[in-house]
Amino acid sequence: MRLVAVGACLLSALAACDRPGDRSPAPGAVIEPRDERLEPVTPPDLASLEASARQAVERRQLFLRERLRAPEVSDADLGAAYGELGKAYHAFGYPASAVAPYRNALRLQPAEFRWPYYLAHVLREEGSSEALEMAQAARVKRPRYLAAILLEADLRFAGGETAAAEELYRSALAVDENCASAWAGLGRIAVERGETHAAVDAFEAALAASPEANSLHYPLALAYRRLGEIERATEHLARRGELVPGVLDPVLDEVVLGNSEAWAARGLNALRAGNPRPAARDLARAVALAPERHDIRLHLGAALARLGDLEGALAQYRTAAELEPGAATVHYNLGFVLGRLGRTEEALAALTRAVELDPTHKAARSTLGRRLTRSGRHEEALEQLDALLEIDPNHLSGRLWRSRALMGLGRHREALRAIEDHLALHPQEPFGRHVRARFLAICPDPALRDPAQALTEALALAGSEGTFEHLRTVAMAEAAGGDFAAAIDWQRRAIALAEQTGASGLEAEMAAELEAYAAGRTSARATW
């Protein structure tokens, strides 16, 4: 970012740039060209951008307008201003809008590598066949820039030009013989040609160059399968992941480099759209540029947690808590992830702190109530869950967790009432129906226990839902009704299904239940 160098006007408030009688155009107005070589630039609607991001883009628009109005501006200066605006559009997710300013920049600075290179990227995003032409133009300007060689190679491969693509991948290897992306490209070409041994060699070379690029285990596995080496294929399938080989691309990084807002916006949007991997990557870049921003760290923690990296998430949340100790959500997230890591006491402390900071924080109260229930601290759990239901009388799971706490306190009739209250509010909610079936199967109070009704409800759920927990409830109901043979059968099916679906953490509990049924006993510790 070189905005500092482009004139004092930019560094001051926009109003200060206005000369008397000189009204600046609205930010969305078309930026008309200076001469016939150039094309007009239509700014996109920036209304949905975060304020700081919007201002960043508008500053570049304004700067370009200033350059265009200035009496003597060199092509190089004007080209740079167009290019910077293109980068802003590009960085904040407007590739189609970036095309015109990049084109103008290229016309004004034809020797510059970046403009055709960036154009190739945005045109590819827009599905334009011109992307290849631009990629080639860029590569000619910098023939040893790996990322440009690979971009053109990939575009040629996608267009069916395998011979040209192969030549480019090989030229990439001439620059760096350990370029995993180039080896992977050669592997793909070999697969297309049916040259399976060559494919194996290329994918093996790619993995050797970049062992973390675990997505490559999949095409390698299929190549081994084609050779009849099923064992090796299976071995590689088990190791496959989602990481793709990459190549350093400082020129492309420059589009958003130094701009924490752009990285954060990209990451947050990816996270909201349910794509945690790119979200984590972009948010990590934003954190690197703005380590003091606790809000970005919170998002990064969420992305890492979605990826299963709980320790990584914990580190982000801890730092966020140091940066902003008064933010309830920071402590809630900290407590949530500590709970997932099994560090119960620390989780309870963090969640308690979140509730202290914000007594209306529903998620914190709910999670604290659940954690306390699971820890056997039923009285305290009830206190939290009652407070939760006061804040949100329709809370989806509050009454069910309350019923479990009441069960723990031996207040069975109240527990049943809590379940019934929940079902009155949410009659189709499957977890509530499941809890009632289980309650009827396991309630220690014989006046409330109803094995026959439990069995009916559990079978209905097992038919339509089919999770291992439902099968397990059927087993409990059968045991409560005295049919231990049936209970054993259902419990075995539940265990098998839990293994199939990868459900973990309940193996010992379920095995103990099976043992109890085999001994002609019901399970004393079952709950929900």
Partner 1 sequence: MRNGCRRVVSFGIGLLTLPGCHQPDSAAPVVAVEATTSGDWFVEIAAASGLEFVHDRGATGRYYFPEIGGAGAALFDYDGDGDLDVYLVQGGALGPDRAAADRAGDRLFRNDLAAGVPRFVDVTAEAGIDARGYGVGAATADVDGDGDVDLYLTNFGRNQLLSNNGDGTFSDRTDESGTGEPRWSSSACFLDFDRDGRLDLYVANYTNFGFDNHKDCRSRTGNHDYCGPQSYEPEPDRLYRNLGDGRFADVSASSGIVSHYGAGLGVVSADFDGDAWPDLFVANDQMANFLWMNRHDGTFDEQGLLSGTALGADGSMEASMGVDAGDIDNDGDEDLFMTHLRAQTNTVYVNEGTGWFSDASYKTGLGGPSLDFTGFGALLFDYDGDGWLDVLAVNGAVSALEALERIGDPFPYHQTNQLFHNAGAGVFEEVSAGAGIAFDLSEAGRGAAAGDLDNDGDTDVVISNLSGPVRLLENRIGAAGGFAGLRWLAGAGGEAIGTRATVLRRDGLRLTRHVRTAASYASANDPRLRFGLGGTGGPVTLDVTTPARSRTRWSDVPAGAYLVGRGD
Q: How far apart are CA 202 and CA 192, in angstroms?
A: 13
Q: Is 464 in the site for partner 1 (CB under 8 A)?
A: yes
**258 binding partner 1? (CB under 8 A):** no
273: contact with partner 1 by CB under 8 A: yes
Restricted to residues 319-378, the positions that interact with partner 1 (CB under 8 A) are: none
Task: Report in angstroms the alpha-carbon separations of 53 from 15, 49, 50.
Answer: 19, 6, 5
- Which window, 6-14, 269-277, 320-328, 374-382, contacts partner 1 (CB under 8 A)? 269-277
Q: Does 431 bind partner 1 (CB under 8 A)?
A: no
Residues 369-398 that bind partner 1 (CB under 8 A): 396
Binding of residue 32 to partner 1 (CB under 8 A): no
Count CA within 13 A, CB hemisphere, residue 279: 21
Q: Which stretch binds partner 1 (CB under 8 A): 10-18, 288-296, 371-379, 464-472?
A: 464-472
Pairwise CA distance, residues 135 & 119, whole Å: 8
Paired tokens of 119: 């154009």
Buried b (16+ CB within 10 A) or exposed e, 176-191: beebbbbbbbbbbbbb
DSSP 3: G
- The interface region with partner 1, picked from 61-69, 233-241, 355-363, 433-441 by CB under 8 A, is 233-241
Site for partner 1 in 115-174 (CB under 8 A): 125-128, 157-160
CB nearer to partner 1: pick between 281 and 417 = 281
Using an 8 Å Cβ cutoff, are 92 and 57 in contact?
Answer: yes
Smallest distance from the beta carbon of 222 to partner 1, in angstroms? 5
Q: Which residue, 265 or 480, is less far from partner 1 as judged by CB?
A: 265
User: Does 217 interact with partner 1 (rule: CB under 8 A)?
Assistant: yes
Look-up of token digits 């989602």: 242
Query: How far, in Å, CA of 32 to CA of 20, rounded?
Result: 22
What does the DSSP assignment read for 189-223?
A: HHHHTT-HHHHHHHHHHHHHH-TT-GGGHHHHHHH
**Contact flag: residue 216 with partner 1 (CB under 8 A):** yes
Site membership for partner 1, residue 92 (CB under 8 A): yes
Distance CA 79, CA 100 (A): 12
Whichever of 69 and 272 has its CB closer to partner 1, that residue is 272
Q: Which of 379, 361, 381 is nearest to 371 (CA)?
A: 381
Residues of span 175-214 touching partner 1 by CB under 8 A:
184, 188, 191-192
| Of 331, 263, 338, 248, residue with least CA distance to 300 | 263
Total residues contacting partner 1 by CB under 8 A comes to 63
Which residues form the interface with partner 1 (CB under 8 A)? 42, 44-46, 48-50, 53, 92-97, 125-128, 157-160, 184, 188, 191-192, 215-219, 221-222, 225-226, 230, 233-234, 237, 240, 242, 244, 265-266, 268-269, 272-276, 396, 428, 462-464, 466-467, 471, 493, 497, 500-501
